[in-house]
Amino acid sequence: MHGSTRACVMSRSDPPRGRRGALLGAGMIALLTLLALFGPRLSPYAFNTLDWRHLSAAPSLTDGHWLGTDPLGRDLYVRTLYGLRLSLLIGVLATAVSVVIGVAWGAVAGYAGGRVDAWMMRLVDVLYALPYLFIVLILATVFGHDSITLLLVAIGAVGWLTLARAVRAQTLSLKRREFIEAARAAGLAPQGILLRHILPNLAGTIAVYATLMIPQMITFESFLSFLGLGVQEPRASLGSLIKDGASEMLAAPWMLLVPAVVLVVLLLCFNLLGDGLRDALNPTAR
Amino acid sequence: MRSTPPRAERLAAAPHLALEEGNGPDTVLAIESLGVDFGSGDQRLPAVVDVSLSVRRGECLGVVGESGAGKSQTFLAALGLLSSPARVSGRARLGVEDLLGLPERELDRIRGARVGMVFQDPMTSLTPHMRIGEQVAEPIIRHLGASRREARGRALELLERVRLPDVARRMRQYPHELSGGMRQRVMIAIALACEPQLLILDEPTTALDVTLQAQILQLLGAIKRESGVALVLITHDFGAVAGLADRVAVMRSGRLIELGTAGEVMKRPREPYTRELLRPLSGEAASESRAAPGPAVLELNDLGVRFAADSGWGRRRLWRALDAIQLTLGAGEAVGVVGESGCGKSTLTRAALHLIRPAEGRVVWMGRPPAGLPAREVRRLRRELQIIFQDPLASLDPHLTVERIVAEPLTIHCRELGASERRERVRRMLERVGLDGPFLTRHPHELSGGQCQRVGIARAMILEPRLLVCDEPLSALDVATQAQVLRLLTELKSAQGTALLYVSHNLATVRHLCDRVLVLYLGRMAELSSARRLFLAPRHPYTRELLAAIPVPDPDLEPARLAEVHLGEPPSPLELPSGCLFRTRCPHAIAVCAERAPLWERAGEGWVACHRFRELGS
């Protein structure tokens, strides 16, 4: 009785911490997504148009290159938004791949328990232990550099390991709850219990993990692109733009600053949203 | 907001409340017209309304009421433990100081040093990572400025004073290594550490079973006599108050409705509500003229369950949670299973429903053993065997509506049912348990404990099973709700011939509901007998101790009864004694009890496992 009193007191006195941040994050993500989709149309240039009159031009409002150009005369505003689009796409798709595999793997392992669980999780441990970057390098040389599918598979394959572990841990604790026992006692089959009682109760956790995973995926893609293993010319992602910008850092600093700022803002927004979601869905904080 | 009549007028209307002034020299804590409300602006929700109470030195004040009556809130507010959204008015004097005006720093000095508090749940009130000795020593170092060494010596003294067994070893252990009763003793030792003037106990025995409850109450009585500390005992149970309290205050919805000496309030209650709280659950025992039980619904043959205790480094030790359980349950029969916590009651329910696999023996459902059947067939049979759980909220899926929860058994076993027909059956079932239309769309967390438990019962009953297993279905509920649920179970049993396997440590409800009772001790059967016979003339010494430990809400009888209870802590299930398991706590143990385990012998129409039941028989 005392516990409930204290919980009620605490929940009312706590400020809606993080909620404003989460809303800001969500709003900014929506804005950036809209910009990535429709922003390039506002400019007369395409992402691969070469403007010979403006090579390495600084940002200016008069010539239409609002954020400047690169040494080949390509418009940085359009290329950054184009890169943002690709980075977002890869981040979201890779996360989706990870979530599907990770949730299925973790929930089945956690619910089955015993030997099945032990084998499934040992496999996860083995995959964790592989020198991941080497494998991506080998895959990239074998299958050629310019493959977004390869990139997706490569990135998605890391993410699901963490998620599988988290989902398994949650499933293990859910499995011991009485309402799961109630469902078993009512005669519900294991797949029914997983679909009807375990997955819906995991939804909060999964949502938080997914939102926090998207920025990780984007970072990883940028990292691969920065190494030259990701998106290839003439296409661009935020990572490849930063790579190009880094080599022109002294002559044309805007080439580095523009995509770098966009990347940082994007990651910050996703992290804000993820933290806010975690606070909102945490049942003990309610 | 409701306007309250002026104080003088109210006191005239309730003259017995005017006795409460609390200005004598002995007064330790005096609360004067204390009010607490929550919320903001116009929507303020009163939690405590104009409560005046006082406690004198060496006195025990019992504060009784159901959950939500504002009992804890009153004292938390008086000690400044409610934070900002709660608005507190009135006065609370400790000695000469008004606590409500004091700054936080001063309050910190007073709490712990001059006032000790003990809460309901001894697990969450102790810090898991600190050794017991350090936790007791901490307030001594902080409030009295003692050295670490002195504090340790003092901690040892305190723990001996609260009669913690094997003190030197326990001081080096962590909270999880102690039983619930021992942890509560440690909490009391911490509360007493700085020789407080006032000890506030908030439901100190609610989480404990009867034998431990009696021991803690005994201990509190001894502390009161020895040290002259003022006690405030907050509880929902008049039984817990009867042996200890000098005066009793009854609270309801934030108001003080009755106050007087324990004798006045409990023998001649003025308020109908107090009478309601005092009314014993068991009127006449369940059904005196009962028909012979029908065909066997559940048989447990020589059932044994083992659990592995992991030491953490790969060494596993198996311990027997249940051993050689033999029980047959016929249609329309109710069998109660009683025993202290940890005796295997809950394990028995799970094994009976084949939710955990037995290591030995077998379970038979309506003539068919589920262990030999294909999984699909076992699931089909489950519609005949349902369960009600101890924690009503935890047993309901938090993201589903009441309608979907209750409909679940139908969606599993009656797939041919249309959506509208299903909804109709759910609605009818909910009406039977006293919940109507609007509840269909609610979620479990929007319901009270009693409502949740009724949803659980509706879910278990909707398929009209032949066996209903109840695992402590009442222990999380208020007295009034308990009576409702008990009535419902009685009705189901007589109207539909449902067999009940009813597990509880509340012996009064077992007596009320059950035809036969099985007494378990450390996973073994101690006695099996008809309920009437068991409660009138118990054969096993353990059964006698259990019955003696039930509190009686009568201030004249209770102190004498409390003095009678002499059951210590049960042994650890990993280090069981030789021979009869109960011999270490049995007042009648002799040499033979240590040599061999007693047989399961027929005794009259019942069964008992004791070497000496014939000589001891009444």
pLDDT at A8: 35
Q: Are B120 and A1 in contact (CB < 8 Å)? A: yes
Give the chain A residue whose CA is nearest to the CA of B83.
Answer: A9
**pLDDT, greater one: B117 or B564:** B117
Beta bridge partners of A159: none
> Ramachandran region of residue A35, left (φ > 0), alpha (ψ -120 to 50) or beta?
alpha
Chain A interface mutation, best of B397, B399, B413, B443, highest count of A Cβ atoms under 10 Å: B397
- The pLDDT confidence band at residue B40, using thresholds 50, 70 and 90, is low
Residues A15-40+68-285, CATH architecture? Orthogonal Bundle (1.10)
Residues of B within 8 A of A5 (CB-CB) are 72-73, 76
Q: Is B386 in contact with A185 (Cβ distance < 8 A)? A: yes
DSSP B325-359: EEEEEETT-EEEEE-STTSSHHHHHHHHTTSS--S
What span, in angstroms and rounded, lies between the C-alpha atoms of A95 and A98?
A: 5
Give the pLDDT mean for B83-107.
82
Mean pLDDT, range B174-179, rounded to an integer: 82
Please give the mean pLDDT across all residues of chain B.
83
**Distance in angstroms (rounded) separating the CA atoms of residues B12 and B31:** 20
pLDDT value of residue B251: 92
pLDDT exceeds 60 at position B287: no
Tell if the CB–CB gap between A182 and B382 is shorter than 8 Å: no
Mutate to test the interface with B, among A178, A191, A193, A198 (most CBs of B within 10 A): A178
Q: Is B378 exposed, middle or buried (0-12, 13-18, 19+ CB in 10 A)?
A: middle
Instruction: Tell me the ipTM for this assembly.
Output: 0.72
Q: Give how far B255 is from chain A: nearest CA, Å.
A: 17
| Domain boundaries of chain A, sorted by first residue | 15-40+68-285
Poorest-pLDDT segment among A9-23, B216-230, B467-481 = A9-23
Residue with tokens 């600190």: B130
> What was the pLDDT predicted at B404?
92
Q: By the CB < 8 Å criterion, does A114 face chain B? A: no
| Cα gap A106→A197, rounded to integer Å | 15
Give me the pLDDT at residue B363, please. 92
Residue linked to tokens 């909910």: B430
Nearest residue on chain A to B40, judged by CA atoms?
A: A12
CA dist A134 and B578 (Å) reads 62
Q: Which residues, at least 6 apart from B163, have a Cβ–Cβ distance to it below 8 Å? A: B185, B219
A173 CA to chain B: closest CA distance, Å? 13
Q: What are phi and psi of B196, to 5 degrees?
A: -70, 160
Contact B551, B258 (CB under 8 A): no
- Alpha helices (H) in chain A, listed in sequence order: 2-13, 19-38, 76-112, 114-129, 132-143, 148-175, 178-185, 190-193, 199-226, 238-247, 254-281
Flag the least confident range among B99-103, B243-247, B252-256, B464-468.
B99-103
Mean per-residue pLDDT for B46-51?
A: 88
Closest Cα in chain A to B117: A2
Give the whole-angstrom CA distance, residue A171 versus residue A168: 5
In this structure, the strands spanning B467-471 and B385-388 are parallel
Residue B288 has pLDDT above 50, yes or no: no
Closest approach of chain B CAs to the CA of A258, in angstroms? 44
For residue B375, count CB atoms less than 10 angstroms from its CB and return exposed for 0-12, middle for 13-18, buried for 19 or more. Answer: exposed
Chains A & B: contacts with CB separation below 8 Å: 92
Average pLDDT (B67-83) is 83
Say which residue, B532 or B284, is predicted with more confidence.
B532
What is the reported pLDDT for B588? Answer: 87
Determine whether the interchain pair A9/B119 forms a contact, defined as Cβ–Cβ distance below 8 Å: no
Closest CA to A183 of B503, B352, A175, A116: A175
Look at the alpha carbons of A70, A76, A82, A88 in this order and tell me if their dihedral is positive or negative. Answer: positive
Report pLDDT for B2. 44
Distance, in angstroms, between B503 CA and closest chain A CA? 16
**What pTM was computed for the model?**
0.76
Asked if the Cβ–Cβ distance from B386 to A188 is below 8 Å, we say no
- The rounded Cα B612 to chain-centroid distance in angstroms is 32
A3–B124 C-beta distance less than 8 A = yes
Give long-range contacts, CB 8 A cutoff, 24+ apart: B141-149: B142/B112, B143/B109, B143/B112, B143/B113, B143/B193, B143/B194, B144/B113, B144/B194
Indicate if the alpha-carbon torsion angle A127, A133, A134, A137 is positive or negative.
positive
Cα–Cα distance for residue pair A161/A166, rounded to 1 Å? 9
pLDDT beneath 70: ranges in chain A: 1-18, 144-147, 281-286
**Listing from the earlier edge strand, what are the strands of the sheet with B296-310?**
B316-330, B296-310, B360-365
Distance (Å, rounded) from C-alpha B261 to C-alpha A231? Answer: 84
Answer whether A192 touches B (CB < 8 Å).
yes
Residue that wins the pLDDT comparison between A145 and B473: B473
How far from the centroid of its chain's Cα atoms is residue B404's Cα? Answer: 30
Shortest Cα distance, chain B CAs vs residue A168, angstroms: 19
The pLDDT score that the predictor gives to residue B206 is 77
Contacts A13 to B, Cβ<8 Å: 83-85
Record: contact A186-B459, CB cut-off 8 A:
yes
Considering only residues B568 and B445, tell me which one the structure prediction assigns the higher pLDDT: B445
Spatial separation of the C-alpha atoms in residues B108 and B87, rounded to whole Å: 19
Q: CB–CB of B455/B396 below 8 Å?
A: yes
Residue A55 CA to residue A50 CA, distance in Å, equals 9
DSSP-derived 3-state class of residue B29: strand
Residue A113 sits at the chain B interface (C-beta within 8 Å): no
3-state secondary structure B140-162: HHHHHCCCHHHHHHHHHHHHHHC
Q: Give phi and psi for B215, each to the nearest 5.
A: -65, -40
pLDDT in tens, B320-368: 888 889 999 988 899 999 988 778 888 899 999 998 888 889 999 998 8
- Of the listed ranges B182-191, B299-308, B493-502, B558-567, the least confidently predicted one is B558-567
